Amino acid sequence: MLLAEVGVRCVQCGTSFVSRQLPTYIDIGYRNSELRQEYRGYCPMMEQYAIVTCPSCGRADWSTAFPPAQSTPVLAQAGGSAHMQYRQAALAKERDAASVNSYQAAIFYTHAAWCADDSKAFPQAREYRRLAVESYKRSLTDSTCPQNLRGETEYLIGELMRRSGDLEGAREHFRMCIGRLSARFAFMARKLMRLCEGGSTESIPFEADAAQEGGASQVYRTPAQPVAAPGPKAGGPPGFQPANSASGMPSAAPSVSAQGLPAVSPPPAVLPPGTGSNPPSKGPPGANKGGPPKTGGPPTTPPPGAPPLS
Ligand SMILES: [Zn+2]
């Protein structure tokens, strides 16, 4: 995977450092039952490049939350596994009075679980899912969950419970909330309840189409392979922000939610070179939710995968 080195600055301590980010983000259009990008076992695993940790103060956040550096930084971003960085970011959303937000903490924990899966750190992944469930539940009562995403959040709570191994809890949760879910989430919830009865904690594709097309099986296209944009060369100028950096992040589940559902039709396989944004139809869901990251360079497109940072 081609990465661009981008000079950024930490708004908490002022330290400038070089981060490594994906210059191009490709949305393959399919989601699994946890709303992570995935197509029949093919998972781009771009989430690990959407999180950045300051090497000086340890602040962890979306890469878009770090504005471009003014000069050439000599420091490199802090190392460490992506799931631990997401965990750190989640803790900040739970504990830092200035930025406490249960919903965003849940999104970070969910990303931590996915990255832990990618690293085969399965015990940690289970724990992150349990923490995501707690945070999502809290977000429904403390009003940090956006009103238009409450149904999706209730669905995700059940699915994260199932994936973490709490099969009975997941069934109970779906039974309680299925009447409030939209047709597509309710369709998936029924499938997941059957998986619970069968003792399965495996992820499955999000087959939203089946609910609306009379059960016809969804036709999948060949997943697009991520292609690096001709843009930035690695080691680009300090402070360089890829034009499409906003969309350079992995798509977060939340982003899908903007429309309430995972994208059912695959977006164009590859972003046309030179275009920095996704087609409007695919607008990241997060777009409507929140403001752009503090970087000030409001991405026109929400960072994929990146939960809208509001
Ligand atoms: Zn810092």
Read off the pLDDT of residues 270-285 as tens digits, 9 standing for 90 and up. 433 443 343 333 333 4
Q: Mean pLDDT for each 10-residue chunk of the chain (310 residues)?
A: 90 96 84 92 89 97 95 91 98 92 98 97 98 98 96 98 98 97 96 98 83 39 37 35 37 38 40 39 38 37 43
Distance CA 306, CA 280 (A): 17
Q: Could you tell me the distance, in angstroms and rounded to a whole number, from the CA of residue 253 to the centre of ligand 1?
A: 27
Place of tokens 């992820």: 203
Distance CA 252, CA 96 (A): 23
Place of tokens 């969950």: 145
Q: Could you tell me the distance, in angstroms and rounded to a whole number, from the CA of residue 15 to the centre of ligand 1?
A: 6
DSSP 188: H
Q: Are 66 and 56 in contact (CB under 8 A)?
A: no
Read off the pLDDT of residues 32-81 as tens digits, 9 standing for 90 and up. 999 999 887 788 889 999 999 999 999 999 999 999 998 889 999 998 99
Q: Could you tell me the distance, in angstroms and rounded to a whole number, from the CA of residue 86 to the centre of ligand 1?
A: 16
Q: Give the contacts of 75 (CB within 8 A, at least 6 positions apart).
A: 15, 16, 17, 18, 55, 56
Q: Could you tell me the distance, in angstroms and rounded to a whole number, from the CA of residue 60 to the centre of ligand 1?
A: 9
Q: Could you tell me the distance, in angstroms and rounded to a whole number, from the CA of residue 244 to the centre of ligand 1?
A: 24
Q: Compute how many other C-beta atoms are within 10 angstroms of the C-beta atom of residue 178.
A: 17
- How much is the pLDDT for 73? 92
- How much is the pLDDT for 1? 67
Q: Are 9 and 67 in contact (CB under 8 A)?
A: yes
For residue 258, what are the CA distances in angstroms to 147, 184, 193, 281?
Answer: 11, 14, 25, 11
- How much is the pLDDT for 197? 97
Please state whether beta strands 75-76 and 16-21 pair in parallel, antiparallel, or not at all (unpaired).
parallel
Residue 68, SS3 per DSSP: strand
Q: Could you tell me the distance, in angstroms and rounded to a whole number, from the CA of residue 129 to the centre of ligand 1?
A: 27
- How much is the pLDDT for 145? 98
Q: Are 80 and 115 in contact (CB under 8 A)?
A: no
Query: Please, how many CA atoms are within 13 Å of residue 261, restricted to the half-sphere of its CB?
Result: 17
Q: How many residues does the chain have?
A: 310
For residue 223, what are the CA distances in angstroms to 25, 47, 140?
Answer: 14, 17, 34
Residue 16, SS3 per DSSP: strand
Cα angle, residue 81 at apex, residues 33 and 109 outer, rounded to 5°: 40
Q: Could you tell me the distance, in angstroms and rounded to a whole number, from the CA of residue 10 to the centre of ligand 1?
A: 5
The b/e string for 224-243 (b: 16+ C-beta within 10 A; e otherwise) is: bebebbebbeeebebbbbbb
Global confidence as pTM:
0.71
> Residue 21 forms beta bridges with which residues?
4
Q: Are 286 and 308 in contact (CB under 8 A)?
A: yes
Q: Are 36 and 43 in contact (CB under 8 A)?
A: yes
Indicate the residue type of 171. Answer: R
Q: Are 301 and 292 in contact (CB under 8 A)?
A: no
Q: Could you tell me the distance, in angstroms and rounded to a whole number, from the CA of residue 58 to the centre of ligand 1?
A: 6
Q: Could you tell me the distance, in angstroms and rounded to a whole number, from the CA of residue 272 to the centre of ligand 1?
A: 35
Q: Could you tell me the distance, in angstroms and rounded to a whole number, from the CA of residue 108 to the centre of ligand 1?
A: 19
- How much is the pLDDT for 209? 55
Q: Could you tell me the distance, in angstroms and rounded to a whole number, from the CA of residue 53 to the centre of ligand 1?
A: 8
Q: Which two tokens stand for residue 74?
A: 């000599």
Distance CA 270, CA 275 (A): 10
- How much is the pLDDT for 23? 83
